[in-house]
């Protein structure tokens, strides 16, 4: 049963209610017999659907030079190629460093209407390894690499480089990491729901149509604002 480690990079967001978008998918496979990273790797850059551009801050954060930009393809195409590379008909474990990447994949699959049946046997290896190294459930991948005595190769915050380093950390601590089997349905849980029912119009809408911490959708908030403005004008 193969082990697949994946990592994601996203657009940097600085404004409220701006949704981070996946712009790189990186992954590698672990040869479980030899306990080493397989030469079979995956890397795709995806163009942001909402922002429609790669900002300079995002480009610098993931280490891309302006004069040497890779090809960016639509997320749907990159995702289809990722599933083909995984080989979803075979048995495998999926591993990440932290749960954010799983949440991002769930969010993007829901946004683009893509299947989630591939998201099985998922394991977040960060808590158990972090606890062993630092007696807390969350340390950075960089700290884990250093503590494990792994020589850093390539620039961190590249999804492929981070996936490969995560795989090396997993191999280093394989005796304490017990990978679990689970179903796609067990992995659908999100810290916040993808769909929310508006308390104003009573319609169920995608969460991006709501302001942060608001139970009313943007359309209802706009109607309320206009109604208040009209009421104020009538009283003057």
| Predicted TM-score (pTM) of this structure | 0.77
DSSP 119-136: --SEEE-HHHHHHHHHSS
Q: Are 131 and 229 contained in the same domain?
A: no
Give the distance between the most distant pair of CA atoms in the chain: 80
* C-alpha to C-alpha distance for 193 and 225, rounded to whole angstroms: 26
Q: Are 130 and 224 contained in the same domain?
A: no
* C-alpha to C-alpha distance for 125 and 146, rounded to whole angstroms: 16
pLDDT digits (tens, 9 = 90+) for 110-161: 888 888 999 999 999 999 999 999 998 899 999 999 999 998 887 777 899 9
Distances (CA, A) of 82 to 42, 77, 187, 201: 7, 9, 18, 39
Q: Are 141 and 175 contained in the same domain?
A: yes
Question: Considering its fold, how many domains does the chain have in total?
Answer: 2
List the CATH number of the domain containing 93: 3.30.420.10
pLDDT digits (tens, 9 = 90+) for 48-93: 887 777 778 788 777 777 777 778 899 999 999 999 999 988 899 9
* C-alpha to C-alpha distance for 128 and 145, rounded to whole angstroms: 14
> Among residues 187, 207, 225, which one ends one of the domains?
187
Report the candidate in 208, 170, 176 with the shortest Cα–Cα distance to residue 4: 170
Q: Are 45 and 135 contained in the same domain?
A: yes
Give the domain range for residue 204.
195-235
Distances (CA, A) of 193 to 107, 119, 210: 10, 18, 12
3-state secondary structure of 107: helix
Q: Are 148 and 224 contained in the same domain?
A: no
């Amino acid at each position: 049963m193969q082990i697949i480690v994946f990592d994601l990079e996203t657009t940097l967001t600085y404004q409220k209610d701006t949704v981070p978008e996946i712009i790189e998918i990186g992954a590698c496979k672990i040869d479980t017999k030899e306990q080493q990273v397989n030469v079979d790797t995956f890397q795709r850059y995806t163009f942001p659907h909402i922002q429609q551009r790669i900002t300079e801050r995002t480009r610098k954060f993931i280490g891309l030079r302006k004069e040497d930009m890779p090809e960016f393809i639509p997320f749907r195409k990159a995702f289809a190629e990722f599933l083909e590379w995984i080989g979803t008909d075979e048995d495998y474990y999926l591993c990440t460093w932290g749960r954010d990447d799983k949440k991002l994949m769930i969010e993007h699959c829901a946004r683009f209407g893509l299947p989630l049946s591939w998201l099985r046997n998922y394991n977040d290896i960060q808590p158990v390894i972090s606890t062993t190294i630092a007696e807390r459930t969350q340390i950075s991948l960089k700290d884990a690499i250093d503590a494990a005595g792994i020589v850093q190769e390539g620039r961190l915050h590249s999804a492929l480089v981070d996936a490969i380093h995560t795989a090396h950390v997993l191999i280093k601590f394989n005796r304490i990491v017990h990978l679990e089997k689970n179903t796609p349905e067990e992995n659908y849980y999100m810290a916040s729901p993808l769909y929310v029912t508006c308390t104003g119009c009573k319609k169920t809408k995608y969460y991006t149509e709501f302001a942060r911490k608001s139970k009313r959708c943007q359309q209802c908030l706009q109607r309320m604002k206009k109604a208040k403005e009209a009421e104020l004008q009538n009283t003057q």
